[in-house]
Amino acid sequence: MRQTRQDIAIAPSLLAADFARLGEETAAVCAAGADLLHFDVMDNHYVPNLTVGPDVCAAVKPHCPVPIDVHLMTRPVEGLVAAFAKAGAEWISFHPEAVDHVHRVIGLIHEHGCKAGLALNPATPLAVLDHVLDDLDMVLVMSVNPGFGGQSFIPASLPKIAAIRDRIDTLGKPIRLQVDGGVKPGNVAAVAAAGADTFVAGSAIFGQPDYAAVIADMRARAVQAAAAPADAA
């Protein structure tokens, strides 16, 4: 196992839940074994969709005993950091293309008591990590183009995940490597083998009759792949 890889974490995406029953859905998926609750925030500017804001985060927080992981697909970002921190978020990720000063926003997230992640779109070059990786708590690899749920995983994401894993290992810090987009039981092992340790899944979990069974299945497949020798990954 690679030395800096974190424990496997499954993060169901609330975007795929029944929005008429968000409190119940949140409680159910947490009871089923979720490690994080992934909260997709879209603004119809940075991405072509509109989802939820801080008030919804605050509303589901009492039903959520696990950390809330907010992914800001918005422009601007800065004003939402304080609002989501106040609403109960523990992790906040953003896209470098959406801000003028990446390092400053990372610091702003930390100032509000949250852990900071940087989200990379499929076409975002890894060079954006060159001067900020040491300040991050998580790198989020988008394995689809952001803006819509239910998309298919982009296979070209796998070498990108592996390259980021190498950077994290070289740095030697416990930085989570999250993957979001089309992740499901059928491909989670390949994603884990590439180096990811945190897996966002929407319809693969919320669209199924037994949340606990899917989460347990994904976790088992990811753990097995992560435990394999690096040269076998």
Is 40 among the catalytic positions? yes
- pLDDT per position as a tens digit, 73-103: 999 999 999 999 999 999 999 999 999 999 9
Give dist(CA 118, CA 105) in Å, integer. 10
Q: Domain 9-227, what fold?
A: TIM Barrel (3.20.20)
Asked if the bond preceding 76 is cis, omega within 30° of 0, the reply is yes
Q: Which stretch of DSSP H or E encloses residue 116? A: strand 115-120
pTM summary value: 0.94
Q: What is the pLDDT of residue 4?
A: 63
The catalytic position among 40, 43, 69, 137 is: 40
Q: What is the pLDDT of residue 118?
A: 98
Give dist(CA 215, CA 206) in Å, integer. 10
- pLDDT per position as a tens digit, 198-223: 999 999 999 899 999 999 999 999 99
Between the CA of residue 106 and those of 14, 95, 160, 195, what are the distances in Å? 24, 11, 22, 23
Kindly state the DSSP code that residue 195 receives in the 8-state scheme. T
The values of phi and psi at residue 164, to 5°, are -70, -40
Kindly state the DSSP code that residue 135 receives in the 8-state scheme. G
Domain segments of the chain as ranges: 9-227
Q: Is the pLDDT of residue 191 over 90?
A: yes
- pLDDT per position as a tens digit, 10-52: 999 999 999 999 999 999 999 999 999 999 999 999 998 999 9
The catalytic position among 43, 69, 180, 197 is: 180
Q: What is the pLDDT of residue 1?
A: 40
Q: What is the pLDDT of residue 6?
A: 80
> Which residues are documented as binding site for a divalent metal cation?
38, 40, 71, 180
> Which residues are documented as binding site for substrate?
13, 71, 147-150, 180-182, 202-203
Average pLDDT over every residue of 141-156: 87
CA atoms within a 13 Å half-sphere pointing along the CA-CB vector of 206: 24
